[in-house]
């Protein structure tokens, strides 16, 4: 096990599966103690068992990112359990599909509450602990969808992910006052559990649109998060890192033929 994050303590939201689980595992492999947070406690326990088989200390904690009180309790738990809180990976998110004409106010609010409000509550809950120690690393999981691209059925998702970047840029100015940074990774298509049921035809067409010819693995995103959470990125704040295999580069499909 490497030790790029030795003595650091990370809180990772949405850690029960997919990108969040990969982030929790990757940070723990590099020596960080991790509080893995999710609303799905059963899935979280399974994820922690899997991670601890090959990595360092990872503890589960059930919390709903839509609740500031829940996230304050999570931050306090990390400090009580491990002595400090130096890294936040705000990753929890949902991506249900609903075209605009059929989308309800409930559909819209649910996605914005989890994805965008969840970033706010997570960061706000962790800031006092980072301010106290004069150090912190925050990494948000945004997306290429919204900030750069669009996809039918995801107006609410795109708005939430673009909104995270507006939040990040002003937060970066405020957090710089006490030595903390905040950045965002912007994944393209990632082969998580959510894509397993979409069918091979969809996956084939999606791979065709990516210059590198394949979807990302969750660990690819986790590696980018690791960099932004490490000392190597100490002079980077308010920035984005696209991890998409070149998906946003082609001017049209003709560029890939």
Measured CA to CA, the distance from residue 115 to residue 157 in angstroms comes to 8
The candidate with the shortest Cα–Cα distance to 88, out of 201, 183, 179, 216, is 183
Alpha helices in the chain (DSSP H): 18-29, 41-52, 68-82, 105-112, 118-133, 155-175, 200-208, 218-229
As beta bridge partners, residue 87 has 10, 137
Of all helices (H) and strands (E), which one includes residue 36? Answer: strand 33-38
- 79-90 CB burial, b ≥16 within 10 A, e <16: beebebbbbbbb
Report the C-alpha gap between 36 and 82 in whole angstroms: 13
Is 202 one of the annotated active-site residues of the chain? no
Radius of gyration of the chain (CA): 18
**For helices 118-133 and 68-82, what crossing angle results, to 10°?**
40
Gap between the Cα atoms of 49 and 188, Å rounded = 28
- Smallest CA-to-CA distance from 145 within 188, 114, 112, 108 is with 188
Q: Two tokens at 36?
A: 């893995």
Catalytic positions, written as ranges: 157
């Amino acid at each position: 096990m490497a030790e790029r994050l030795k003595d650091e303590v990370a809180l990772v939201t949405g850690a029960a599966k997919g990108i969040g689980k990969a982030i929790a595992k990757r940070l723990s492999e590099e020596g960080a103690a991790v509080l893995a947070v999710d609303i799905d406690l059963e899935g979280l326990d399974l994820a922690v068992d899997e991670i601890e088989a090959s990595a360092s200390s990872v503890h589960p904690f059930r919390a709903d990112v839509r609740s500031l009180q829940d996230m304050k309790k999570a931050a306090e738990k990390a400090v009580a359990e491990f002595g400090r809180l130096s890294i936040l990976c705000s990753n929890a998110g949902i991506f249900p599909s609903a075209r605009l004409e059929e989308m309800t106010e409930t559909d819209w609010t649910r996605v914005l509450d989890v994805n965008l409000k969840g970033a706010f509550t997570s960061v706000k809950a962790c800031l006092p602990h980072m301010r106290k120690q004069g150090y912190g690393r925050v990494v948000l999981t945004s997306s290429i969808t919204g900030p750069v691209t669009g996809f039918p059925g995801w107006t609410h998702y795109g708005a939430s992910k673009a909104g995270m970047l507006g939040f990040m840029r002003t937060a970066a100015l405020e957090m710089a006052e006490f030595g903390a940074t905040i950045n965002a990774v912007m994944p393209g298509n990632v082969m998580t559990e959510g894509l397993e049921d979409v069918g091979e035809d969809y996956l084939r067409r999606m791979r065709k649109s990516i210059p590198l010819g394949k979807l990302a693995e969750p660990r690819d995103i986790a590696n980018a998060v690791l960099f932004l959470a490490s000392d190597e990125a100490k002079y980077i704040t308010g920035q984005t890192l696209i991890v998409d295999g070149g998906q946003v580069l082609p001017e049209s499909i003709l560029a890939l033929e």
